[in-house]
Structure 1
């Protein structure tokens, strides 16, 4: 089956790239011929071994050639950042339906949505198979009159890196999110507390274009913070797997820490972060937390339980099976 995948791919966000890195091989192994709409089609094709087309100029022809359109995964159907983004993703779904293509919304977090946005999503998704990745999205779908399944984020299908023979000095890894100053300020206070306690601290930009300034601000305020860099989701997973603890504002910092069974603490800038934290048993801190509270949380954080880890990974596999079944029926 020829499937066209629509998401935030080829735009430099390692979280979205982790979704694709987990999903593409899983679909390929199930006989799906995948083409991805991308901001950088050449890079997407080379890195993920898929067909790729421009998410703008290449979308019309790609829609004509595919048999099915999948929207996801990620937090695509929201209008808190831009109504244009929501219109883009819904427009693709409407065009696919008008062309008689099969459609599905997969592994998404729904919202936040304005009243007008909710109406648009509800109308467009009527009759479309929907799978979401957190309980809040499941409730929102029900509120909009949509039936939805619960699946796990496909990034959980990434292969784990081999353990290092020598891990070097252990470090606490901080993962900021550009544009959310209150949350990044909490990471700064934590970095100061950690270095005062003699801990080694590192920071990782999951979306360098947006997050590099936040990492630079951390390093300027706390000179002992080391900046670590990743260009692929596999490199990001390696860095996260080597940490003794991860404190993340970004969702996929939490997801990859859970996959690697590394203790994690979340600062939830978006409901999707709190939604995953609830599934994985991750403590969520308020950005206004005192340094002592932040430090204590990072020091007592524990890794995901074996049963929760197994459930999440199994949920990711079940999600791919669900998707292929819906597109084939």
Structure 2
């Protein structure tokens, strides 16, 4: 019997990828008859942008209240169980699951990316959280292997990222009709890395060479807390002339803007996902196993690796080669997009079945 679900994760925290996960899952589960509330980093903004009842995700008294009012807690996706940035991320989500189970509520982890988990404490807490969940689905086969390698013994299934359940933009635009001064627009979605990796230099050089080759680079900022400063630094390196999409505040708006582009070069996983959903082939640049796994799922060729000393000229060469196959890649996306959506529907089915069906 449908009821109230509390969605948890890195939601409402300024990352359009995590909000795309939230929106995709919400669209599917609401159509199944459930109501949703959100643990959000910015509750008022989440309510204003999306209309969801929201609670502050860092206020444990409010989290306890939200759990008491729901029938189950659902983590709809994202790479939340990882300790690359900090083991505190794993500790926080493990705590929320512990609170839910203490309140005798069901917990579902769906569309999850697992890892990287490098520390003993991170792995231990993550495994404990996974074991406490009532059911688990991961977003790709690599995450399923990581879950098993972690020591998880129960049944789990591979589905797809919940963002694939987002409805299409209301006004799709033929990318062939969109250009700036006769130049095709190429979205570029970098993300900051450690200080040893010169992301600014790499993408600054790439933007310059791309413009010289006859295309217009546009910087796609998927995380307002990290990417806007990075975009400013990249643009500054080229005289402050590279446009960006910093004013885009929802995944729907970003998807609509991407639908008007000719192509996408993305480090950000969900920039690639949003592009693929509107039939814009993404060339993925991998800094993390999740990006490599996504590129493999799409079947458009392997992701370029940041670990191989990639340079601006090498990235341009790879992009131009990628563009030669654009027509073929669009046809592949036509098929893959529907496959991924059907797989993502498994996230909805798992929760519906776990709640006793309809």
> What TM bracket, shorter-length normalisation?
over 0.9
Aligned-pair distance for 1:121?
Answer: 1.7
Specify the alignment match of 2:91 in structure 1: 87
Which 10-residue stretch deviates more, 24-33 or 173-182?
A: 173-182
User: 1: CA distance between counterparts of 2:10 and 2:205?
Assistant: 31
Which 10-residue stretch deviates more, 90-99 or 120-129?
A: 120-129
User: 1: CA distance between counterparts of 2:83 and 2:98?
Assistant: 17
User: 2: CA distance between counterparts of 1:163 and 1:6?
Assistant: 31
The correspondence for 1:136, drawn from 122, 125, 142, is 142
Aligned-pair distance for 1:32?
Answer: 1.0
Specify the alignment match of 2:312 in structure 1: 291
Contact 1:243 1:262 in 2 (8 A): yes
The correspondence for 2:66, drawn from 62, 68, 86, is 62
User: SS at the partner of 1:159?
Assistant: coil
Stretches of structure 2 that go unaligned for 5 or more consecutive residues are: none
Normalising by structure 2, what TM-score?
0.87
Instruction: Count the aligned residue pairs.
Output: 329
User: 2: CA distance between counterparts of 1:263 and 1:297?
Assistant: 14
Contact 2:22 2:76 in 1 (8 A): no
User: SS at the partner of 1:126?
Assistant: helix
Normalising by structure 1, what TM-score?
0.94
User: 1: CA distance between counterparts of 2:260 and 2:319?
Assistant: 16
User: 2: CA distance between counterparts of 1:297 and 1:263?
Assistant: 14
Contact 2:189 2:271 in 1 (8 A): yes
The correspondence for 2:167, drawn from 159, 177, 201, is 159
The correspondence for 1:100, drawn from 98, 104, 115, is 104
User: SS at the partner of 2:244?
Assistant: strand
Contact 1:106 1:130 in 2 (8 A): yes
Specify the alignment match of 1:267 in structure 2: 285
Contact 2:190 2:203 in 1 (8 A): yes
Specify the alignment match of 1:145 in structure 2: 152
Q: Does 1:53 align with 2:55?
A: yes
User: 2: CA distance between counterparts of 1:159 and 1:2?
Assistant: 22
Contact 1:157 1:316 in 2 (8 A): yes
Aligned-pair distance for 1:246?
Answer: 0.6
User: 1: CA distance between counterparts of 2:215 and 2:102?
Assistant: 57
Matches within 5 A, 1:292-311: 292-301=313-322, 302=326, 303=329, 305=332, 306-311=334-339
Which 10-residue stretch deviates more, 272-281 or 300-309?
A: 300-309
The correspondence for 2:179, drawn from 168, 179, 186, is 168
Contact 2:101 2:132 in 1 (8 A): no
User: SS at the partner of 1:246?
Assistant: strand
User: 1: CA distance between counterparts of 2:192 and 2:310?
Assistant: 19
Contact 1:178 1:212 in 2 (8 A): no
Distance 1:90 1:148, change over 3 A: same
User: 2: CA distance between counterparts of 1:29 and 1:49?
Assistant: 16
